[in-house]
A and B are shown apart, each in its own frame.
Chain A
Amino acid sequence: MIAIYICAGIAVYAAIRIIAEHNTMRKLPFLNVVSFAVTGIIALLMPHPITIAAAAAYFVGSTLESNAIASTWSGGIKKDG
């Protein structure tokens, strides 16, 4: 039962670190920590076989979102310079 408390605490900690960080690209590792922690919470809340598919879909979706944000940001900078 301590495991889910650890996941929730780490998620809130990483979200506060995202606000405290001002560089856009350096926010993305903390966002990755949030998505790891939320995937752990999802799996620990409902022990059911379909939960694996839901957790994997959430994790892959979050990763794809970070990937798209980072790629668009670097492309925009290159076009400016």
Chain B
Amino acid sequence: MLDEPLRILIAAIICWLNFMTIDLIFRLPHSGGVSGATAIAQEVEKGGGKLNGGFMMGNIVSSPDASAGTLLASCGVYCAGLPGGLFAALLVYIGNRICYDPGYAGTTGCITATFIVYGATQIGFVASDFIAGMVIAILTIQGISYVHASRLVARLWKVRCRFIPEDKP
């Protein structure tokens, strides 16, 4: 049984890897889903960032994607166990439909995060660690420096395009 700050740090790393992997697989940095996401990406590029990272930041702002799915799945598992997480996946899907989004990234991220969090609670973690960990993980992408975060996302997007070459940016 680890201490609580160490558990929160490990949970933050797990959440970061989960939502970043699913967002890259579902091609969020490829283009803006709505016109607001494109506007945010252009402003980020004007301020010195990269355009692909800006698209991803704009998509996270303007529709619930895998990061929101991870947060709400942690809340669901914290409040009501495994059925709570699956109910949160349904709510994320409805929220995606409200925001004019297909909703595959958010729902997939929510379902995978439900099983990850539920599995982690069986080996000594608490679900509240994952809520705080997800807030820290979204802070590193959206809240510290948009220039460095968008460059990091653009670099990861290049790596992803090298592995799956048929859909280039």
Contacts and interface: CB of A to CB of B under 8 A. Distances in A.
Q: CB atoms of A and B under 8 A apart anywhere in the complex?
A: yes
Contacts, number: 162
* Chain B binding surface SS class: helix
A75 B55 CA distance: 17
Contacts of B132: 2-4, 6-7, 40
A1 to B, nearest CB: 8
Interface stretch (B20-28, B88-96, B115-123, B151-159): B88-96
Contacts of B95: 56, 59-60, 63
B166 to A, nearest CB: 30
B105 interface: no
Contact of A25 (B39, B60, B79, B92): B39
Contact of A56 (B39, B40, B72, B134): B72
Interface in B90-108: 91-92, 94-95, 98-99
Interface string A1-32: 11110110010011001000001011011111
Contacts of A70: 34-37, 39-40, 58, 61-62
30 contacts: A3-B4, A4-B128, A7-B131, A7-B135, A10-B135, A26-B47, A26-B146, A29-B60, A29-B61, A32-B60, A32-B142, A33-B143, A36-B67, A40-B131, A40-B132, A40-B134, A47-B79, A52-B79, A52-B80, A59-B68, A59-B95, A60-B94, A66-B62, A67-B99, A70-B34, A70-B39, A70-B62, A71-B36, A74-B36, A74-B38
Interface of A: 1-4, 6-7, 10, 13-14, 17, 23, 25-26, 28-33, 36-37, 39-40, 43-44, 47-49, 51-53, 55-56, 59-60, 63-64, 66-71, 73-75, 77
Interface of B: 4-5, 8, 34-40, 43-44, 47, 57-58, 60-64, 67-68, 71-72, 74-76, 78-80, 84, 87-88, 91-92, 94-95, 98-99, 128-129, 131-132, 134-136, 138-139, 142-143, 146
Which 8 pairs from chain A and chain B are nearest by CB?
A: A70-B36, A74-B39, A60-B95, A43-B75, A3-B132, A25-B43, A56-B91, A29-B142
